[in-house]
Each structure stands twice: as C-alpha cells, then as structure tokens.
Amino acid sequence: MALLEETKKFLCVSCPVGCSLSVTVRGTDVLNVEGNTCPRGVTYAENEVANPVRTFTSTVRVNGASLPVCPVRSKEPLPLVKVFSVTREVAKVKVDAPLSIGQVLIENVCGTGTDIIASRSLGKI
C-alpha cells in the first residue's frame, strides 16, 4: 500500500523569526518545505517529521534551600513521545540542598539516554 502525501503545519523555532512552515510529507519523508526564510527551516521540518525532540524544562522540590524549588532541564533534547513520562518522573523528585548548576538529578530519565540537571545553584540554609 502506497503512503499518501499530506501537508503538515509547523512553527519553526530554529531562529527568532518563527516562520510558519507548510511541509509536504509522505510517511516520514519530507517532499517539500515552504514558508521558511532561512535554510534552518528545512532542517527543522525534516527533524520534526522524522524524530521530534524537545528540551525538557521543569522544577523539582528542594529541602533545606532558600527556595522551595529548583529549575531543571534535560541535558540533551529528548523524544517528544517521552515528555509526559519524564514529567511524571520529575514530579516525584525531592532533593536536598545544596545543589550546583549542572548537577545530575536523574540519570537516563525514562530510558531516554539523557539526564535531568539543575539549572541553577541553591545553597543550604
């Protein structure tokens, strides 16, 4: 059975312009990209169709720090399909101060191959 062509719409986030992309695809093959004002739009569209990823950001609860939570992020972008699972895992975490920026709080979160790290340092009170 032959795959049908379809058009998908994306907002490119590769640069500050934020082009509205119209992407013609057949399965995971990108046939045409329109609406991009720079070459990065084509690369973004191809990646978004074949393997969409996102940098995950959130917060974790912290004991004994001047702030009750610490911002965290994924060290590398992770598969978009794993974002909700990662959100549930991060919500379970409570760490003790002190924390250092870049400190790994969850290794290989949900089998994604990337870690959740602290986005700021927090001292102990």
Strands of the sheet with 116-118, listed across from one edge: 94-96, 57-63, 69-74, 116-118, 104-106
Largest CA distance in the chain: 64
Residue 71 lies in a domain: yes
> Quick one: 46 and 81 in the same domain?
no
Residue 124 lies in a domain: no
The count of domains in the chain is 2
Interatomic CA distance for residues 53 and 57, integer angstroms: 13
* Beta bridge partners of residue 95, listed in sequence order: 62
pTM: 0.84
pLDDT in tens, 1-58: 778 999 999 999 999 999 999 999 999 899 999 999 999 999 999 999 999 999 999 9
User: Does residue 62 have a pLDDT over 90?
Assistant: yes
Residues 68/36, Cβ–Cβ less than 8 Å: no
User: Which domain range does residue 75 map to?
Assistant: 57-118
What is the identity of the amino acid at 105? L
Instruction: Tell me what pLDDT residue 3 has.
Output: 84
**Residue 85 within a domain:** yes
- Check which CATH number belongs to the domain holding 96 and give it: 3.10.530.10
Q: DSSP assignment of 46-86, as one string?
A: HHHHH--EE--EEEEEEESBSSSEEEEEESS-EEGGGHHHH
